[in-house]
Structure 1
Amino acid sequence: MKFFTRVSMLTLILVASVSTLTAFASPARRSPVVEVVEKVGPSVVNIRTEQIVRRRSSPFFGFGDSLFDDFFRGFGETRVYKTQSLGSGVLIDPKGYVLTNAHVIEQASKIFVALDGEQKEREATLVGADEQLDIAVIRVAGEGPFLAIEMARSDDLILGETVVAIGNPLGLGNSVTTGVVSSPHRRVPMGEGFVGHFIQTDALINPGNSGGPLLNIDGDLIGINTAIASQAQGIGFSIPIDMAKRVVNDLITFGQARIPYLGIMPGNVNQALVRSRGVGGVLVTEVEDGSPATVAGIEIADVILSIDGMTVESPREMRQLLGSYTPDSEIELEILRGVEVLKRSVPLQPLPDQYGLLYSSRVFGLEVADGLEGVLISRVVPDSYAEKARIRVGDRISEIAGQETATVAAYEDVMVRHLGEIPLSFLVIRDNRGYYISLP
């Protein structure tokens, strides 16, 4: 007992000594980075999630024959597994709202948050997420107020300025890395035609630090760190805070980001233009009457080169970038008309009612209705892409672009999130057989 008492006393003396040394550290050691960490560190949280995974095992598993495994897996026992993942986040509101990456809380059945200075985790709930932007907002349970920081801006970043990345990957304390801005705006191919728009730094970002804040030397929140695959070492990517904060209010209010309405049909430019300019763009193939594009003077055959200075080179990239804006935003389009480069300010609007269903009919020739087993084709527009693909009235649409469409509401939601994406893949069910059909 005396031994443990002596050890305890020694521990207290050591802790007191360390605290005293920290308090009386040389002023020269209190660098701007130290001040940033002291200012923002208490607002950085650890996020731990639990996911429930159900798998049906094969009774022949382990016999070394994958054919047996595959065939008999459907007859095996369903097993339930509980998996965990870790990430970081940052408090952005005294009410307990935390900004993080969508992939950090993806498919989570439970979310737990470890706050600075608290020994016990708190539960949290998902408020809203935007998988395309990889942004999510969760809310910490329990009494506040919580020590939060404000979202600043990322449109004034200086090439080479110092940045600080903070995370809390294990819930044991903050992890800090520093670097400089290598590119204030970097286009990064993400696969399947998607392109991410990031702040590129040389601050190391580990997977457990995903969702943590990127800060300038004044301690301003300028980005959300994300651990994405990269071939090169020593490169970090962060989601610009300007993109994140445009949709945060929507996530808190509506649980998802509202889709803005521009009112054009985008298409691919010809390769001759790409070769002559060195970059592509998005061809305007149709302008809808009364749309924001019409009001702004956008014309058929215009080529959209950029949105707010961010280059767009395909309809998918344009749709993805527009998705980072809300219907009350105003954007500046740079367009090519003939040989002249013009700029047009466009106030975006909310999508018209049932726009996804109207789009489905006008572009693909499909009109749908709710049925007993899901979404059924109620009409095929004559001479449409759907008719040419031999889709029939009574066929069932089970998926669009790999996303389930169990109801007309879900069908419309998926449709509006793929506006301008051509070709688009449909899973058509007829006589209990499924067919993947790309339109057009």
Structure 2
Amino acid sequence: MLKPLILSPRVWGLSLFLLGGGVGLWVGRLSALGSQGSPSSFPVTFTATHIESPAPQGVSPLPLDNPNFMAQAVAQVGESVVRIDTVTLAPDLDRSPFQHWFGRPQQPDSIDRGSGSGLLLGREGRIITNAHVVEGADGVEVALRDGQIVAGTVVGLDRVTDIAAIQIAAGNWSTPPLGRSVAVVPGQWAIAIGNPLGLDNTVTAGIISAVGRSSSQVGIPDKRVTFIQTDAAINPGNSGGPLLNDRGEVIGINTAIRSDAQGLGFAIPIEKALAIAEQLFTTGKVEHPFMGIQMVNLTPELRQKLQNDATLRLKLHQDNGVLVVRVLAESPAAVAGLQSGDLIETVGGVAVATTGEVQAQVEASVVGEPLTLVIRRSNQAQTLTVIPQAVSGEPSLD
């Protein structure tokens, strides 16, 4: 027969103290969770195992079998991330046409090898990467996630946006989920996948640290892109790989890092990358609208310096704006009557305050169709009509 367990008053007191403390901890935890609050349009419910919040409309939430949402996001896109291997032949410049008759045997051309990343878009075998990954290459191979190595053909590249299109044979390739970069805001999660430094299928994570970075801010003013900025580590070899959001959707193509900064990487918005790639796959080239001007952002300091230069004979009546400093001869801007010293106020009916905004409006215009500019000259507003021309390659002016 079992004897009843009899606790001394001291043990009972200690037990009740611990029980009360435990209850206090649980109540405190629940109160802390409740005090965080949530927007009324996104009600949050929590159970004993996890906290759930509904996904934005039209977006399928990731499964919750794996508590690591980043691993789930990567799993959705991993098979679409490929390695781009390039071979470039560098001819032996010391070779003589008589070497096979006289002197030492001919030496083979030297071979330069490069590597980058790419995003395989689906069954048709289309791949997006960066132009600088494949530019000048004599041969391209594509390494797939399952270890296959297949031949690739560079269909076209666009230096202005740093986008290139590669074609491989059609197959049962998976299609990555695509997101919308226009919905991205600073502070959201960012996940980069690529093959940096020859280390295949490397995943790094951070946040979106800024959006809408102009090419001049990034340090590559000859490009026509507004970039997504992230602190997810992007190293040599990541170029051309995807940038994901926390749902595993591709929101950008990683393209650039600044050598003078740590923890800053940049990606081309996916909408821009896809639009350029579509033109490359269709026609093999991209034609960009071109006006033929060079601009600077006017500041009070710059205005003072320019007006103190007697050779310019420039009279500026405001401290800010977009100042035209050069007009290319016989360009669309010159034909329209644009002059150095003009301040651009609107392009295509859209008010502009920076050179990046002017560039974006010109890029969005249509080659051969009138584009209206409102400029200020000698403190007088004037309306000019420019007919943008097409330019391929890498123009130095807008």
Alignment TM class, shorter chain as reference? 0.5 to 0.7
* 2: CA distance, partners of 1:207 / 1:148: 25
Q: For residues 30-179 of structure 1, what are the structure 2 equivalents within 5 Å?
A: 30-57=67-94, 80-117=109-146, 119-141=147-169, 143-169=170-196, 173-179=200-206
What residue identity is the alignment partner of 2:157?
A
Query: What whole-Å deviation, never above 9, does each CA across 1:319-375 have from its counterpart, x for those lacking one?
Result: 6x5785574899999966588999x9x999875xxxx8xxxxxxxxxxxxxxxxxxx
Question: Structure 1: any 5+ residue segments left out of the alignment?
Answer: 1-26, 60-75, 357-412, 422-440
TM-score if structure 1 supplies the norm length?
A: 0.56
Query: Relative to total residues, which structure has the larger strand share, 1 or 2?
Result: 1
Contact between 1:56 and 1:77, CA under 8 Å: does it hold in 2?
A: no
Post-superposition offset of 1:206: 1.1
The corresponding residue for 2:344 is 303
Q: CA RMSD in A?
A: 4.7
Question: What percentage of residue pairs aligned between the two structures are identical?
Answer: 33
Query: What whole-Å deviation, never above 9, does each CA across 1:180-200 have from its counterpart, x for those lacking one?
Result: 111112135466853663111
Contact between 2:369 and 2:388, CA under 8 Å: does it hold in 1?
A: no
Change (3 A) 1:209 1:28: same
* Count of aligned residue pairs for this structure pair: 307
Question: Structure 2: any 5+ residue segments left out of the alignment?
Answer: 1-63, 97-104, 304-317
The corresponding residue for 1:21 is none
TM-score if structure 2 supplies the norm length?
A: 0.62
Contact between 2:344 and 2:352, CA under 8 Å: does it hold in 1?
A: no
What residue identity is the alignment partner of 1:42?
E
Q: For residues 263-342 of structure 1, what are the structure 2 equivalents within 5 Å?
A: 264=291, 266=293, 268=295, 275=303, 276-278=318-320, 280-282=322-324, 301=342, 303-304=344-345, 312-313=354-355, 321=360, 325=364, 327=366
Post-superposition offset of 1:229: 3.3
What residue identity is the alignment partner of 1:229?
R
Query: Which of 231, 234, 238 does residue 202 from structure 1 map onto?
Result: 231
Change (3 A) 1:174 1:272: closer
Query: What whole-Å deviation, never above 9, does each CA across 1:123-159 have from its counterpart, x for those lacking one?
Result: 1101111012111110113x41311225432122111
Contact between 2:289 and 2:363, CA under 8 Å: does it hold in 1?
A: no
Contact between 2:215 and 2:221, CA under 8 Å: does it hold in 1?
A: no
Find the residue that maps to 2:251 and give its secondary structure: strand
* 2: CA distance, partners of 1:171 / 1:272: 45
Contact between 1:50 and 1:110, CA under 8 Å: does it hold in 2?
A: yes
Post-superposition offset of 1:270: 9.3
The corresponding residue for 2:270 is 241
* 2: CA distance, partners of 1:136 / 1:309: 32
Query: What whole-Å deviation, never above 9, does each CA across 1:206-244 have from its counterpart, x for those lacking one?
Result: 111111000111222111112433311111111122321
Question: Which structure is richer in relative contact order (CA contacts within 8 A, separation 6 or more)?
Answer: 2
What residue identity is the alignment partner of 1:144?
G
The corresponding residue for 2:252 is 223
Contact between 2:143 and 2:149, CA under 8 Å: does it hold in 1?
A: yes
The corresponding residue for 1:183 is 210
Post-superposition offset of 1:122: 0.6
Q: Pick the structure with greater CA Rg.
A: 2
Change (3 A) 1:210 1:280: same
